[in-house]
Structure 1
Amino acid sequence: MSSISDGLGGSLLAAVNEEIVALVDRILDSTAMVTGQSPSFDELSGSAWRLDEQHLVTNDHVVKDLVEPVWVAFPGHTEIRAEIVGHDPLTDLAVLRTIPLEIPPLPLRELPPRLGELSLAIGSPMGEFPESVSLGIVSGLSRRLPTTSGQVILDVIQTDCAINPGNSGGPLVGVDGRVIGVNTAIRDEASGIGFAVPAATVAEIVPELIGYGTVERSTLGVSVAMRKIDGDPTRIPRMVVVRTRDTAAGDIQRGDVMLSVNGSSIHGLADITRILRRGTIDTEIPVVVWRDGSQITVPCVPAKLEVSD
């Protein structure tokens, strides 16, 4: 009996191997190592990837403690200075700007990632091993990732690609060569549980960082939770107001079930974060709730949300 390497199986494995090698060769040059110093002169490092001719995407926690100058190094290129354009603690994203370089950008995936799809994590783990690549799959979707600031990053991708300190800010790439996420964190007490901010969040947040340097959000001044409602035959968790504050934006009451905000339906906490953005601050918007068996529209004027770093 011939071995598998002599037959169809070996041919398929060889073809897959060549596809992976070609993919890495195509995308590696668009990734970079980020280095700099903290105010106390500690050497810090992370990863980033080319978004367009001048801009790189990385993590907020990679750059927030850096002081000028910040340096980036692409494979085969000398180290160059970079400017921090903006950062957003709530999504752990940041943007750097360099002089224009003839380095191909990495395109963002428009379609959402699929559970089980192959993915590659690229970065510079430990700040000592640039141009490192690991292979894995998308092992979870719509995760919640707590941050050290007490915030929670929503709709995060879970992956079993090897991600280590220094990988943060590097791209998580699908087999189509498109970025499906930004490598962000690992679960310290586990093995093979890494997290990436999804491409959809990058596409939403990064243009505002480039344009304004910050992401401004508004708040309705209430606390909400996803709960199943008695009498609802669908048994689908709904967004329920569990606490109101003196700074509430309108006559929203405890127990109200939120149906839509500013004309957009509400299905989860990520929807609220997406809707309550810069353009809604100090502007009257309609909030539709279910209260006492009736649908009610409540006029609200959201205030600016203050987010600590």
Structure 2
Amino acid sequence: MSTYERDALAMDAYSNAVTAAAERVGPAVVRIDIERDMAPRHGRYAPPPGGGGLGSGFIFASDGQILTNAHVVDKARRIYVTLADGRKFPAGLVGSDSDVDVAVLRIGADHLPVAELGRQPLRVGQLVIAVGNPYGLNWTVTAGVVSALGRTLDVPGSRKMVNLIQTDTSINPGNSGGPLVDSAGRVVGITTAMLPMAQGLGFSVPLDTMKSVVARISQKRAAATPAGVSVGVGGMRVELDEAVRRSLGLSQRQGMEILEIRSGSPAELAALRRQDIILAADGATVTEPRDLQRVVRQHAAGDKLILTFLRGGTQRKVTIVL
């Protein structure tokens, strides 16, 4: 085989990886437009400079929950989300953490395509792909590699951001909040910042940070149930490992990974741990926090709840007293 042929095969493999990853996550990527408060001018109201805004995001739960950057929706008066299929919805802000630049939105739609989250640690030199809406150009794909991990960035006019993923993937205005994915199309971060004078040097919030924010918001929502009854966990939907599914004969493909456990909660007293994956509550399938909350709302304080969960590839059960 000639050098030309080898180079062509390598390029085809690279192109195929980027194409497949973009196609896999693409249906879950959204465009975010916002309106900010109007400012008075000469007795009339007009939008201030930068009065509107544009960013990206991605659906992480099929009931319309979306992840983006906190700065994308900061001070937004109205938020609109456009799906990959062209449908447009008003969105509400569920919660945000400006310190790590992550926000959760929700739209009034269900049964939506969801971006799968990564499971393996990132490595320097690994291929990554960013999908977003730079300069309003919908669903644009750029590719590069992980240049460094654990970076710290001083953002002008903002807080210092730590533990960021540094890439050479082009990140432009409008890309913010979009997913950074691996070669399998699984989300490994949220694109958040770029250095304009550094030839496209980009930074992304890592997956673990994103999960922590989602978990804290989930905990707060669970604690606000009408009866005040809660398991005391925060988490998010994850794909189950295929080998584990086959070995245990599981039909469901997703579960709720526990990311946070409230101190003194029923979950802590029952010795549940972070990274346990809840599969069912009282026999009802659990794939995400709202499934667990739906079962919990049917109980009163003092009731018992049986949880089925995975830990280290082993299926277990535990009885929790609410």
Q: TM-score, normalised by structure 2?
A: 0.62
Partner residue, 1:181: 189
| Counterparts in 2 of 1:13 and 1:44: CA distance versus 1, 3 Å | same
1:94/1:209 contact within 8 Å kept: no
Structure 1 pair 131–57 and aligned structure 2 pair: CA distance change class (3 A):
same
* Aligned with 2:68 (options 58, 62, 73): 58
Letter in 1 for 2:203: F
C-alpha contact 2:29 2:131 (8 A) present in aligned 1: yes
User: AA paired with 2:10?
Assistant: L
SS for the counterpart of 2:173 is: coil
Paired residue for 1:204, among 176, 200, 212? 212
- Aligned mate of 2:97, from 75, 82, 88: 88
Which of 29, 32, 35 is equivalent to 2:30?
A: 32
Q: Does the aligned pair in 1 maintain the 2:21–2:182 contact within 8 Å?
A: no
1:110–1:200 Cα contact (<8 Å) kept: no
Residue 80 of structure 1 aligns with an amino acid whose one-letter code is: F
- The match for 2:154 is 146
Q: Deviations over 1:149-190 (max 9, x none)?
A: 542221100011000111100011011221111000011332
Contact 2:25 2:116 survives alignment (8 Å): no
Q: In 2 relative to 1, CA 4–13 (structure 1 residues): closer, same or farther, beyond 3 Å?
A: same
Q: Which residue of 1 aligns with 2:128?
A: 119
Matches within 5 A, 1:154-173: 154-173=162-181
Contact 2:18 2:129 in 1 (8 A): no
Q: Relative to 1, partners in 2 of residues 1:140 and 1:66: Cα closer, same or farther, differing over 3 Å?
A: same
CA deviation profile, 1:21-79 (whole Å, cap 9, x unmatched)? 122111111100100111123221100001111210000000012112x1111112311
Give the gaps of 5 or more residues in structure 1.
Answer: 214-273, 281-309
Residue 15 (structure 1) aligns with? 13
Deviation at 1:211, TM superposition (A): 3.8
Normalising to structure 1: TM-score of the pair? 0.64
Aligned-partner Cα distance in 1 for 2:262–2:191 = 26
Cα separation, 2, equivalents of 1:115 and 1:182 = 17
Alignment of 1:277-288 (within 5 A): none
Deviations 1:130-164 (Å, cap 9, x if unpaired)?
10110000011111122345422211000110001
Q: Residue 110 of structure 1: CA displacement?
A: 3.2
Give the conservation status (yes or no) of the 8 Å contact 2:20–2:185: no
Q: Which residues of 2 match residues 253-268 of structure 1 at below 5 A?
A: none
Larger radius of gyration between Structure 1 and Structure 2: 1
Residue 67 (structure 1) aligns with: 77
| CA-to-aligned-CA distance 1:118-139 (integer Å, 9 cap, x gap) | 000111112x201011000001
Percent sequence identity over aligned pairs: 31
Whole-angstrom CA distance in 2 between matches of 1:110 and 1:203: 12
Residues 102-121 of structure 1: per-residue CA shift (max 9 Å, x gap):
33211222332110100001
Distance 1:91 1:178 in 2: 21
User: Contact conserved, 2:21 with 2:129, CA < 8 A, in 1?
Assistant: no
Counterpart of 1:30, as a letter, is A
Contact 1:108/1:203, CA 8 A, preserved across alignment: no
Length, aligned pairs only: 215
Residue in structure 1 matching 2:145, options 132, 137, 140: 137
Query: What's the CA shift for 1:278?
Result: 8.1
Q: How many angstroms apart in 2 are the aligned matches of 1:158 and 1:47?
A: 19
Alpha-carbon distance in structure 2 between the residues aligned to 1:194 and 1:158 = 6
Contact persistence 2:147–2:166 (CA under 8 A) = yes
- Deviation of residue 4 (structure 1)? 4.3
- Structure 2 gaps, min length 5: 39-46, 222-258, 265-322
Shift of the 191–15 alpha-carbon distance from structure 1 to 2, 3 Å rule, reads closer
What secondary structure, in the 3-state scheme, does the structure 1 residue paired with 2:71 have? helix
Alignment-mate amino acid for residue 91 of structure 2: A
For residues 209 and 116 of structure 2, the distance between their equivalents in structure 1, rounded to whole angstroms, comes to 14
Distance in 1 between residues matched to 2:162 and 2:262, nearest whole Å: 19
**Structure 1 stretches of 4+ moved >4 Å:** 2-5, 277-280
Change (3 A) 1:24 1:120: same
